[in-house]
Amino acid sequence: MTVTSRTVEIRENVFMPRLGFGVYKIPADETTTLVRTAIELGYRGIDTASLYGNERGVGQAVRDCGLPREELFVTTKLWNTEHGYDAALRAFDTSRRELGLDYVDLYLVHWPQPRLDRYVETWRALEKILADGGARAIGVSNFQAPHLERLLAETDIPPAVNQVELHPWLQQAALRDFHQRHGIVTEAWRPLGGGPELFAEEVVRTVAQKHGRTPAQVVLRWHLEMGHVVIPKSAHSERIAENAAILDFELDSQDIAGFATLERGQRLGPHPDET
Ligand code: NAD
């Protein structure tokens, strides 16, 4: 199976790297160094959020790394306390100021917060941010099909991306199918399923051995074969490098069939309806 491009077009002329560096739980004072390391190792996408408290470090790395801004792809997200039209516009201004960037490449609504029931109004603010050039693309995270359906029915611009919990134990077949039907790109968070326990699965070990790769690499490669954008996180440079070395081999249909058997419908993070 071949992933032909390092990027996916998420909106006309907006190309998102299929591999990005996630910075959840990376301490603010280590963020600049680690993001610079990731960029040196070939990552071009960076995934942060106002919740993570490290947008400033991300922005500094992006500004100082020596690459033209347009070669990097920065995602940030609006937090749960920032829903509502005016609040969302203010939240975006704060994120952009923290990042110290003129624009972000992708701005996401972090969680739908269905009990609050303001995500449609919040989305209209993101449409305004897009129209004003503050973000090159807009999307959502942790949205379930009914939440997406409401956005599609009640607003003008469909989300370019839905970033959801997705790993071999939670393969999200129905949601991925919904995305495909509506032209929404699937982005996987917790792509490594948190690490060691998934890496010990017989299927993962066998596929890794067969290709002479590490378990982390074959899991990440599985995501690429499935068409997902992936954003693995690590605070160690050797693992950051390991996770990036996934573009020079392929899984075959037998490997993919093996991964299919790992589905357990198991969430490791919160349920979107309950957050
Ligand atoms: P992940 O699946 O990337 O796992 C990260 C953990 O796996 C690391 O802490 C490390 O312990 C281990 N690991 C990483 N590389 C390894 C390697 N090569 N070998 C062995 N162990 C390795 O999970 P994550 O950090 O939760 O998710 C990745 C990114 O997704 C986050 O940094 C964040 O950007 C994003 N995210 C988004 C949401 C959301 O609600 N939108 C939620 C969680 C995470």
CB 213 within 8 A of CB 201: no
pLDDT of residue 66: 96
Model pLDDT, residue 194? 87
**pLDDT-above-70 percentage for the chain:** 99
Domain spans in the chain, listed from the N-terminal domain onward: 7-194+228-233
In the predicted model, what is the mean pLDDT of residues 190-215?
97
- Say yes or no: CB of residue 234 within 6 Å of ligand 1: yes
ipTM for the predicted complex comes to: 0.98
Alpha carbon distance 145, 251 (integer Å): 29
pLDDT of 271 over the 80 cut: yes
Whether 189 is in the pocket of ligand 1, judged by its Cβ within 6 Å, is yes
102/255 Cα distance (integer angstroms): 43
242 lines ligand 1 (CB under 6 A): yes
d(CA 188, ligand 1 centre) in Å: 10
DSSP conformation letters of 71-91: G-EEEEEE-GGG-SHHHHHHH
Q: pLDDT digit string (tens) for 157-192?
A: 999 999 999 999 999 999 999 999 999 999 999 999
Q: Does residue 161's CB lie within 6 angstroms of at least one atom of ligand 1?
A: no
Q: How far is the CA of 134 from the centre of ligand 1 (A)?
A: 27
Cα–Cα dist 78/64, whole Å: 25
Q: 227-241: per-residue pLDDT in tens?
A: 999 999 999 999 999
Ligand 1, atom nearest to 164 Cα:
41
> Length of the chain, please?
275
Give the pLDDT of residue 3: 52
Does 59 have pLDDT greater than 90? yes
Distance CA 275, CA 269 (A): 10
pLDDT, averaged across the chain: 96
- Phi, psi dihedral angles at 166 (to 5 degrees): -160, 120
Reported as a single tens digit per residue, the pLDDT across 113-136 is 999 999 999 999 999 999 999 999
Q: Give the tens place of pLDDT for each residue, 80-109.
A: 999 999 999 999 999 999 999 999 999 999
Ligand 1 mutation pick, 233, 243, 268, max ligand atoms within 8 A of CB: 233
Q: Which residue has the tokens 């037998």?
A: 254
Q: What's the gap in Å between 131 CA and the centre of ligand 1?
A: 32
pLDDT of residue 274: 83
Q: How confident is the model at residue 270 (pLDDT cuts 50, 70, 90)?
A: very high
Which residues form the catalytic set?
52
Rounded-to-integer distance, Cα 193 and Cα 209, Å: 19
State the closest ligand 1 atom to the C-alpha of 23, by its place in the atom list counted from 1: 32
For the cut 80, the answer to whether the pLDDT of residue 275 exceeds it is no
Q: Are 44 and 71 in contact (CB under 8 A)?
A: yes
- Where does 7-194+228-233 sit in CATH, by number? 3.20.20.100
| pLDDT at residue 4, rounded to an integer | 53
Does 20 contact ligand 1 (Cβ within 6 A)? no
Q: Is residue 110 annotated as involved in ligand binding? A: yes
Cβ atoms 75, 45 nearer than 8 A: yes
